[in-house]
Structure 1
Amino acid sequence: MRLLHTSDWHIGRTFHGHDLLDDQRRVLSELAEIVRAENVDVVVISGDLYDRSVPSGEAVQTCVDVLEQLRRTGARLVVTSGNHDSPQRVGAFAGFAAAGGLHLHTRVATLHEPTVLSDEHGPVAFYGIPYLEPDPARQVLRTSTAPGAAEDVERGHPAVLGEAMNRVRGELDSRDPGTRSVVLAHAFVTGGGSSDSERNIAVGGVDQVPADVFAGVDYVALGHLHGCQRITERVRYSGSPMAYSFSETRQRKSVWLVELDSEGLSETRRIELPVPRELATVSGTLEQLLHDPEYESATDCYVSATVTDEARPVDGMRRLQQRFPHAVHMEWEPAGGRARASLRYSEAVRDRDEPRLLRDFVANCRGAEPSDSEGELLDRALSEVNTAEVRR
C-alpha cells in the first residue's frame, strides 16, 4: 500500500497580512498530480487543515476543492484535526464522508477506532489521534473505556498522548497479527525542529513528547512542526506545504511517500513541492537595498528587510516596495546599535517640559533628533492640542 503523508495546510492563513489562498490552491492542487504519478492508495493529512477554528467561507471552499481533487484520483483520504482546527467542524458529517472515501478522525473518545483499508497483503489499520488539549482530553479519556485504558490519566501532553497510544495498541492487539498499522498524530515530538509559524502548545512549560510513545506501530505520520523531518525511521513530520514564516526560508517543502509491504514499513521517499513565491531576507541601508544589484534576485520574492540607517527611514516600507513589490516586513536596526534608555520613566521625564518630551519621543523612535523644521511642526501641533484642551 502506498501512502502520501501531508499535514499543516493552514488554509486561510495570511503572510504578514498578505492573502495566501491563491498560492495555497496552486501548491495543494499539486498533491493530486503526485497521487496520480506515484499510484498512491491513501492520502493521510495529520491536522491543521485550516489556520483557524472558524475558517472563512473561501478557506472552506478551497479545502473542499483540494479534497475533491484528491478523491477523484481514486485514493482514499484519512484526516485528523490539529490545534488550529475546530474538531467539531472538521469532523462534521464524518459518517457520511466515510462512505465517499474521506475518513475523518477528530474525536478523542473514539481515537482507538481505526479506519481499516486493505491491499493484497491484508488489512492496514489507520488510527487518527487529533490534537489533544491536555486537560479536556484527560477528562474524556478518564470517562471513556477502550482496550488498554488506564483508570486515571496524569496531566500534560506526554501523559494524554501516552494514554492515547495505549488504547491504540490495545485495539491493535485485538486484531489479526498480520494487521499493519499507521498512526496520525498532531503533536510536538522530542527531536523535532520548530519554526516561528507554529502556535505554542506548551502547558506548564511542557509540550514535547518522546518518540518512543509511538512504539508498536509501523508508521507514524506527524503534524504540527512545519519542517519536513525524520524523528526515527518510522516517525516523521511531513511539514507544511508552504513556508509560513521567514524562519522557514531555507526549508524545502515536501511530502513523504510511504510504502507498506506485507511486513510493514518498507520504504519512504521525500517528494518536493512547488514554491509559488520564494522568501528572501535582505539587510542594508535603505539606499543600498533600493539600488545595489546584489539584491536583484529578491525582487520577485516575499521580502523581509532589515534597514540599518542611523535614523529610521521615512516611509521606508512604501519605498522598499518600489523595488520589491512583495516586501511584507521591515525592521529598523541601526548598524552601530541603538543605546537603550536605562532610566526609569519617572527619571526620564523629570524636569522636562512638553516640547522637550515630544522631541525626545521622536528621537527615540527614529534614532535621530528632529530637524528644525520638524521641531516647528511638533511645537505647532502641541500648541493646537493645548488650545483645544483649554476650550473644552
Structure 2
Amino acid sequence: MPKILHTADWQMGRAFTRFETEDGAALVEARFEAIETLARLATENQCDAVLVAGDVFDAQTVADRTIRRVFNATQGFAGPWVMLPGNHDAALAESVWTRAQRLGAVPENVHLALQPGVIDLEPQRLSILCAPLTQRHTYSDLTEPFSVYQTPEGFLRVGLAHGSVQGLLPDEIDSANPIAPNRAEASRLDYLALGDWHGTKQIDERTWYSGTPEPERFRNNEAGNALIVDVSEPGATPTVTPVPTGRYQWHQLRETLAVHSDLEQLLERLGTLPESAVVDLRLDGSVTLAGEEALLKALSVAEARFRSLRCERGGLQLTPTEEDIAALKADGYVGEVVESLWERQDAAQDDVARDALAILAGLLREREQEAAQ
C-alpha cells in the first residue's frame, strides 16, 4: 500500500520582525524543527515519499546558511523527497534552487521538480506529476497538462501543484496561479497534493491542501499539520490523515469589555491558553481602575508564560467608579488631577490621559499599602 507524506508552504527564511528579537528567533527556529518533525513522521509511518507542494523558501534571496539548514533537516527520512517551486521560490533561470545546486546542498534523495513533467519513483511505484511555478504569478492552469502525461502501468498518479483552486477557497480567493476544481478527476489522479493555502483543507476526496507545518499567521485555518496519504492501489480512494506538526499555536483575540464579567471571562480564557501560545490581543470598551489593575497583573503573568503576547489597549478607556476614587484617597490637588485625567480621557479617548490616570492610581495605591505596613 503506497503511502506518502504531503506538506507545503514551509517558507524558510521568513523573518518575524514584528516580534521581540527573542520571540522572532524562536519562531524561526521552530520552522527548522518542523522539517525534522516531518522527516521523523515519514520514517515512523513508513512513508514511501515526502511531497512538498511549493514555497519551501520564503524568497529567492534567503541566506546560503538557510538553504543548507533546510536540506540538512531532511536527513531524518532516507526515502525520496520531491520539492516543488511555488510563487515565493519560483523556478526562475537563476533562483534559490539553482543556488542550492551550486552549493552542493541538495541530497541525492531529494528531487527538485524545476520543470513541468513526471518524476517516476520506480521502487515506490509512484509517478509524481509536477506543475512547478516558473514565475511568481501565472494566469493559466499549469496542471492542465496532467491530463496528457503518461505514467507506467500500475503506478499511482499523484499530482503536485501550488496555486488557488478556483471557486472553492474561502474569501473568494480566485487569484493568480489558478487550478481547476476538477483537476484530479479530469487528469485521472489518485491524489492531488496542493500548496499555497496555508491551512489544512479538503477540496474533494482526492484533492487536499496540507497547509504549513508550523503556523505563521493569526488566522483560524487549521494550520500546523501534515497529511499522511494512503492509497491501496491505483484508482482506490485515498485515506488522508492530518497529523499535528506545529510547535506554536497562534491566537488572535478581539475583546470588548463592558462589565466586570467580560474582564473575568477574558482572564479565564488567557489562563487556559498553552505556554506555546503566540497571542495578539486587542481590547476595546471600558474598565474600572480595579479592573485595570487586575488586567495589568494578568498580562504581566501571561507575557512571561506565553511564547509571545502583544496587547493593543488603545481602544480601552478607564472609567473609575466612585469606589475606585474613594479607594485612592486622593483629596485636594491630587484629587483634582484624578478628576481632570478621568474627564480628559473620557472626552477625547486620550491615551496619554488614560495611561497617566493608571500610573497615578498605581502610585496612590502603593502609597496606601506602604502606609498600612
TM-score by length of 1: 0.64
- 2:159 aligned partner, one-letter code: V
* Alpha-carbon distance between aligned partners in 1 of 2:68 and 2:198, rounded to the nearest angstrom: 23
Residue 258 of structure 1: how far off its partner (Å): 1.8
2:272 match: 297
The C-alpha deviation readout for 1:158-209, integer Å capped at 9, x for no partner, is xx22xx334333231xx544443111100011355459xxxx8835xxx643
The C-alpha deviation readout for 1:74-127, integer Å capped at 9, x for no partner, is 311111011111422225566988881211012xxx302x2111247xx43212
2:238 match: 267
Residues 131-142 of structure 1 aligned to structure 2 (within 5 Å):
131=133, 133=135
The C-alpha deviation readout for 1:317-370, integer Å capped at 9, x for no partner, is 99945532444433346379xxxxxxxxxxxxxxxxxxxxxxxxx989x72286
Quick one: structure 1 residues 65 and 317, their matched pair in 2 at CA, closer, same or farther if it must change by over 3 Å? farther
- 2:62 aligned partner, one-letter code: P
The alignment of Structure 1 onto Structure 2 pairs a total of residues equal to: 303
The answer as to 2:175 corresponding to 1:202 is yes
2:364 match: none
Which runs of 5 or more structure 1 residues have no equivalent in the other structure? Answer: 138-155, 337-361, 375-392
Quick one: structure 1 residues 275 and 100, their matched pair in 2 at CA, closer, same or farther if it must change by over 3 Å? closer
- 1:84 aligned partner, one-letter code: H
* Alpha-carbon distance between aligned partners in 2 of 1:91 and 1:194, rounded to the nearest angstrom: 34
Residues 111-130 of structure 1 aligned to structure 2 (within 5 Å):
111-112=116-117, 114-119=118-123, 123-130=125-132
The sequence identity of aligned pairs, in percent, is: 18
Find 1:246's aligned residue among 184, 193, 218.
218
1:185 match: 161
The answer as to 2:303 corresponding to 1:324 is yes
Contact preservation (8 Å) 1:78, 1:105? yes
Residue 63 of structure 1: how far off its partner (Å): 0.9
Residue 221 of structure 1: how far off its partner (Å): 0.6
Find 1:234's aligned residue among 197, 203, 206.
206
Contact preservation (8 Å) 2:168, 2:203? yes
Find 1:279's aligned residue among 250, 257, 282.
250
Range 214-223 or range 83-92, more displaced = 83-92
SS at match of 1:67: helix
Quick one: structure 1 residues 99 and 327, their matched pair in 2 at CA, closer, same or farther if it must change by over 3 Å? closer
SS at match of 1:183: strand
Contact preservation (8 Å) 2:86, 2:136? no
Supply the RMSD in Å over aligned alpha carbons: 4.0
Quick one: structure 1 residues 91 and 2, their matched pair in 2 at CA, closer, same or farther if it must change by over 3 Å? farther
SS at match of 1:247: coil
* Alpha-carbon distance between aligned partners in 2 of 1:86 and 1:317, rounded to the nearest angstrom: 46
The C-alpha deviation readout for 1:143-164, integer Å capped at 9, x for no partner, is xxxxxxxxxxxxx2xxx22xx3
* Alpha-carbon distance between aligned partners in 1 of 2:7 and 2:47, rounded to the nearest angstrom: 13
Quick one: structure 1 residues 193 and 320, their matched pair in 2 at CA, closer, same or farther if it must change by over 3 Å? farther
1:308 match: 284
Residue 7 of structure 1: how far off its partner (Å): 0.6
Residue 26 of structure 1: how far off its partner (Å): 2.6
SS at match of 2:143: helix
* Alpha-carbon distance between aligned partners in 2 of 1:186 and 1:178, rounded to the nearest angstrom: 26
1:77 match: 81
* Alpha-carbon distance between aligned partners in 2 of 1:81 and 1:332, rounded to the nearest angstrom: 41
Quick one: structure 1 residues 39 and 165, their matched pair in 2 at CA, closer, same or farther if it must change by over 3 Å? same
Residue 252 of structure 1: how far off its partner (Å): 5.6
SS at match of 2:238: strand
1:150 match: none
- 2:122 aligned partner, one-letter code: S
Which runs of 5 or more structure 2 residues have no equivalent in the other structure? Answer: 318-343, 357-373
Contact preservation (8 Å) 2:160, 2:192? yes
Residue 11 of structure 1: how far off its partner (Å): 1.7
The answer as to 2:339 corresponding to 1:334 is no
Quick one: structure 1 residues 304 and 176, their matched pair in 2 at CA, closer, same or farther if it must change by over 3 Å? closer
